[in-house]
Amino acid sequence: MSNQSNQDGLVLPPLANSNTTTTSTNNNNNGEDAIVSSSIPPNLNLNLNRSDTVGTLTSSQLGDSDNDEDTDVSSPIQNTDQPTTTTTTTTTTTTTNNDDPQFTDEEDEINNDLITANKSNIDPSIIPDEIVHDGKYTWLPIHLIRKTKAKFWTHYLALDKTLMIVRCKHCSEILEKFSNLNNNNNITTNTDSTNESLENTKKFQRHLKQKHNLNPLISYYKNNEDIIYKSTNSSSRFLQPSKSVQSLLLSQHSINGFNFNDLNAQQRQILYPFSQLMAIIIASQNLSIGFIMDPAMKLLYSKLSQPYLPDPSNVKLTIRQISTQINNIIKRTAQRNDLDLQLIIDMDNLPMDLNDRTSILSERLKFFLNEINNITLFSITSSVWLNKIDENNNKNLTNVLALNFLDHTKDIIKTIPLNIIISDSTNLNTITMRNQLLNVMQNVKGLNKSVLSMTMSHSRLINMEHIDQSDFFTTNQSPYHNCIVDILANIVKPIFGTINTDNDNDPLLNPTTTIKPTNLISFKPKDFYSNDPEQHLLDACVNLNNVNILNNSQSIFHRIKIFYNEIQSNPWQLERFISLYKEKFNESHGPILQCFDSMFYSTAQTTLETFLKLKSIIQETQKSLHGEKFSDSDFKLISIINEFITSINKIILYFTSTKKMNFIYIIFTMLSLEKQLNEMINDCKFDSLSQTLKEIKYSVQHFKDILLKDDTNLLALFCCPATLFDRTLLQYVFHTVSLSDIVNIISNTVRQIIKRFINIEFVTNQQNVNDPNHQFFNGNENKIIEDEIDIILTQIINEDLYAYLSTVNTIVPLSYKAYCEQSDYIRYDGRFKRRRIRSDDDDLEHESDDEIENVHLNYTDEFLDIHVPVCNAFWDQYLANEAGLIIKLLSKIMITESASSRRAEYEFLNNFIPKLGEDYLEDVVKIKLFNEQYSAGKVDYDVDTLATAAQYD
């Protein structure tokens, strides 16, 4: 593998082959230690070059085979090369197969392509992504069971070579051939056979044209050149693949047989009426229904080729219909997952010999694990947003139950709301949440089988754990995860005051003491960040209503407010302050000052940052003031508080973003915060602040211990390469530094998760079961096979886990070194520093003549700026090259798991008022988010799944 650069600019060294894990300490220049390991079992093959022989067929190789109907029956010009048949006799012998008319020579290239494919050691006889087992029949691609070159046959599956019954690949509809047309005497003539063949051709071509807008003369594989077929061994004949979601995925230009490149504007308008597009605009932009009656809109209607008469009631009805159609897409995806999670075992074809049977079951299981990688897994999040406060301080809370999943096409995490409830604070309780979840699971059949977990706030999780979860999830373990953002919000609160424990379970309830904003220099604090989505998101995530805000001399925010008030109350001082600001910063306008407003948490950071920026001006101005004054120690105190709040805010924004794989950093985050707090406490010379920081540290440790009780979090920690080099951490978390013991712990967790998705279905001939001479069927055969599959699964898991550890040990230390060299970081004594050129504006305690200095990084900056990019780059390259089936599936699970119940996409719900009324809130939010993540005007709402809908640009 050649060196590659990831999106963060990191170039990783090539993945080297390694059959063992280094057991000694590796003292590299970068300071990384090698993974400390006990001996790895010698029977496990850790060869990293585990790629199978894969052949890729081009569109011509996959295309239309020989000798069957390929005339365009809609054309008035018939193919003159076809042989002429007579109707005067019924006994004439002919060598022409009338069911397979002859065609032009240019289509014979398919046969040559297939021959070429075979010569290239590519076996086109096994196409697992197209073979469908519906529980009763096995449907095969027609060109595997019959020699035919008609291109329209490539769009169908059949049971046998008679092709009497076929199944459309695009919509799964079953079509039957006509038989003995107009022949009541049961005498088959050449004319009858020809007419029957022609009518069948018309029927199957008509289905493609009318239902899917496809040209029957274009192969199904025309836009599917990326379909990969693997060479298989003799055990392949025992495999009965379940239907894969890949069979629905076409190219970005052709989804479910709907080719938009072939449609003109009029056809698009017919398929997607203007009223539907208008409904999407109204909902996604939260416009009032009166928008459609705006004079400018009426002028736009007059420019349309077809008249459009706006009807408010029709637009509302269309909005409700689109919302229902989005629900149907989710249902269709869940149902498809349910089919794909069937592991079909043909008992009749299993040999008696244990070794042979193990080999076959191993191949079957590996194929099935690869299938699971192709389905859409989900995680559910429950979040609460403050919707509205009236003049009596009454609140409406919006409780959102959202579905999160990985979009394989764009490789990003998407989210769609499943259910939204608006209620006052007294009604939003555990029963409401349970009913909400139960309603979703009942409406979306099969969803619980592909849902990994549910993430919510800690207070609500405690209550949900006492409720029977069998109606929601198919797991014996707790499916609930703590929201890391909710934990961070609770951790930071002691900085501002004492927490009111009466309201601790719901911080959105009755507010306690607040600090009101002060208008400074013709400036309204709220306007300062009104256009900053990050600050809006922070305000939504951290609510200080249940905090008794300090409003005295012990609060640095209160002192800053008093200082600003004194300046503002004296016109001369204010004028002087503005003049000093313009002179220092070479600005034509005065400063924008910010006072902390407890109703808007984000103002804390902006207030402190602004005050630190104005340090020299403040020190000069306060000489002539009589009130609050700030010493160097005060500024040091402000700097410490600002550093901690800034760190918390950075982490919150990271976990609420759409970035992948953040679930694996939950424990790492808590460890980084704990180390940073220890460092701050040791350096802090202020007793009051030191006590507050210790209180926060105890809170971090408390939540860390809670998170470590979640087995999925332990698995996530194992998937974070940076943590595997910390012996102390491994001992603390796993109570051992032996990799063999750690792998056993992780292997058990992985096996339990994967077994949730394995629905074994045994297929056998009843005669064999009743045959006393058949030794295999003794009444316990199903249990025997299940146990053997469990053993095989464990072996596959262990092999992949050891291979992962071996690769981490080889690559990650070199990756840190490469990243630091590229990004101007240096590592000394286990810590990272950033090299930078000093500027004239630097206000340093210790002056130095050196142009380049090494800037100390706190643990949060190390985590976000170094560890996350390096670990993400490792995973990107490992998955693209050497990762085994289990590791790929494990990474998909980690990507899908939700670390936070709050996501940036829902930030707008804070104080959101739907213009169409509360009755349409769920519809509006659903359409808005669907339109932002999909091309809502192009989706086929009757056919698409979440996976296929993602193919549209």
User: What's the pLDDT tens digit per position in 801-854?
Assistant: 999 999 999 999 999 999 998 888 988 877 888 887 655 555 544 444 455 567
| Measured distance CA(147)–CA(744) in Å, rounded | 51
Q: pLDDT tens across 642-693, in order? A: 999 999 999 999 999 988 899 999 999 999 999 999 999 988 888 888 899 9
Q: 379: closest CA among 892, 915, 947, 953?
A: 892
Where is mean pLDDT largest: 36-45, 112-121, 792-801? Answer: 792-801
Confidence bin at 425 (pLDDT 50/70/90): low
784: number of Cβ within 10 Å: 12
Question: SS3 of 783, please?
Answer: helix
Q: Could you give the CA distance from residue 276 to residue 269 in angstroms, rounded to a whole number?
A: 10
Handedness of CA 278, 284, 290, 293 (dihedral sign): negative
∠399-904-384 over CA atoms, to 5°? 15
Per-residue pLDDT, 766: 58
Tell the burial category of 144 from Cβ atoms under 10 Å away from its Cβ (0-12, 13-18, 19+). middle
Does residue 888 carry a pLDDT above 60? yes
One-letter amino acid of 75: S
Q: Which residues pair with 832 in a beta bridge?
A: 827
Q: Are 439 and 452 in contact (CB under 8 A)?
A: no
User: Cβ–Cβ contacts within 10 Å for residue 618, how many?
Assistant: 22
Least confident segment among 266-275, 504-513, 695-704, 910-919: 504-513
pLDDT digits (tens, 9 = 90+) for 126-168: 354 577 877 677 888 887 777 777 888 888 888 887 888 888 8
Q: Which residue, 930, 918, 911, 896, is CA-closest to 537?
A: 911
Alpha helices in 709-856 (DSSP H): 711-718, 727-734, 739-755, 766-769, 781-823
3-state secondary structure of 386: strand
Q: Is 157 helix (H, G, I), strand (E, B) or coil?
A: strand
In which residue are the tokens 């005295």 written? 552
Over residues 347-387, the pLDDT tens digits come to 777 888 888 888 989 998 998 898 888 889 999 999 988 87
Q: Is 888 within 8 Å of 373 (Cβ atoms)? A: yes
Are 480 and 681 contacting, i.e. CB atoms less than 8 angstroms apart?
A: no
Give the C-alpha separation, 9 to 823, whole Å.
Answer: 9
To the question of pTM greater than 0.85 for the whole model, the response is no
Rg of the chain (C-alpha set): 33
As to burial, measured by CB atoms within 10 angstroms (0-12 exposed, 13-18 middle, 19+ buried), residue 362 is: middle
| pLDDT tens string 897-940 | 999 999 999 989 888 888 998 899 999 999 999 999 998 878 88
Cα 645 to Cα 556: distance, rounded to the nearest angstrom:
13
Question: Model confidence at 514, in pLDDT bands (50, 70, 90)?
Answer: very low
Buried b (16+ CB within 10 A) or exposed e, 497-533: bebbeebeebbbbebbeebebbebbeeebeebbeeee
Give the separation between CA 685 and CA 692, rounded to whole angstroms: 12
Predicted local distance difference test score (pLDDT) of residue 767: 56
Mean pLDDT estimate for the chain: 74
Give the Cα separation of 917 and 932 in Å (integer): 21
Amino acid in the structure at residue 185: N
8 Å CB contact between 372 and 341 = yes
Which of the two residues, 687 and 420, has the higher pLDDT score?
420
- The three state secondary structure string of 418-475 is EEEEEEECCCCCHHHHHHHHHHHHHHCCCHHHHEEEEEECHHHHHHHCCCCCCCCCCC
Q: Which residue from 902, 886, 754 is spatially nearest to 452, judged by alpha carbons?
A: 754
What pLDDT shows up at residue 393? 57
Please give the pLDDT value at position 74.
35
